[in-house]
Amino acid sequence: MSLVGDILPLAVGVLISPLPIVAVILMLLSKRAKRNSLSFVFGWVIGLAVPGSAALLIGGTQNLSPGTEASLEASVIRLVLGLLLLFAAYRRWTRRPKPGQQPTMPHWLQFVDSFTPLRAFGLALLLSAVNPKNLALTLAAALAIAQSTLGGVRSAVALAVFVVIGSISVAAPVVLYLVLGERAARTLGGWKEWLKENNATIMAILLLVFGVILIAEGVNGII
């Protein structure tokens, strides 16, 4: 149960990713709705699974028991990841739109509706595997799994569960579209506008919370 308590909040942190959700909604409102959105979800899953698997394999070759040198290194990694998230939270908070201002969105969002499935896949990889928040949380989850007493197969299952939970938010709009078809457009449009307006605040708070958690875990492991 302690492992579930460790990785579940991290998976939820990945799940709460406003911009990727906006991106997949824009794809669902475009001409290549089904192909692009499915490619995006697949790329998102791969972007979480690959770095997570690599970290899990590397961690599996080390003795991460408390008090060992490898365990100390894992704690230092958590501390560094936490500090990076705090810095990212500070940047997000200071750059949030002032009351009455329109939120500034990334320039690439304007071209999402013209993407090909390959570009949708590549964008998902960038937003999941390269995004600092998601990468930090994925690595932290892989470290937690590697430090558990699970065997190889159960560790892989635990990572798979993390990836599935972390992918729910980008998969949910696609499932809604596949079930309701064109009738989902109004609901998806409402989600998109709300996420665009609150993206900076959501991300700042999220980065702050998980930054503090990782720093606390890192300090606890060091001392």
List pLDDT tens digits, range 207-216: 888 888 888 8
Residue 74 has pLDDT above 80, yes or no: no
Pick the closest to residue 45 from 14, 79, 73, 23 (CA basis): 14
pLDDT at 71: 66
- Looking at every residue in the chain, the average pLDDT score rounds to 83
As a dihedral over the C-alpha atoms of residue 200, residue 205, residue 211, residue 213, rounded to 10 degrees, the angle is: -160
pLDDT at 62: 66
pLDDT at 40: 95
* CA angle at 150 for the pair 145 and 155, rounded to the nearest 5°: 50
Residue 165 has pLDDT above 90, yes or no: yes
Region 36-46 average pLDDT: 95
pLDDT at 117: 92
Any idea which residue has 């665009």 for tokens?
A: 196
C-alpha to C-alpha distance for 212 and 191, rounded to whole angstroms:
29
Q: Comparing 124-128, 130-134, 158-162, which segment has the lowest mean pLDDT?
A: 130-134
pLDDT at 46: 96
Residue 1 has pLDDT above 50, yes or no: no
Q: Comparing 57-71, 82-96, 142-156, which segment has the lowest mean pLDDT?
A: 57-71
Range of the domain at 144: 2-222
Q: How many domains does the chain have?
A: 1
In one-letter notation, the amino acid at residue 182 is E
Query: 150: Cβ–Cβ under 8 A, 6 or more apart, which residues?
Result: 3, 158
pTM: 0.81
Label residue 16 by pLDDT band (50, 70, 90).
confident
* CA angle at 124 for the pair 119 and 125, rounded to the nearest 5°: 95
Residues of the chain with pLDDT > 70, as a percent, come to 88
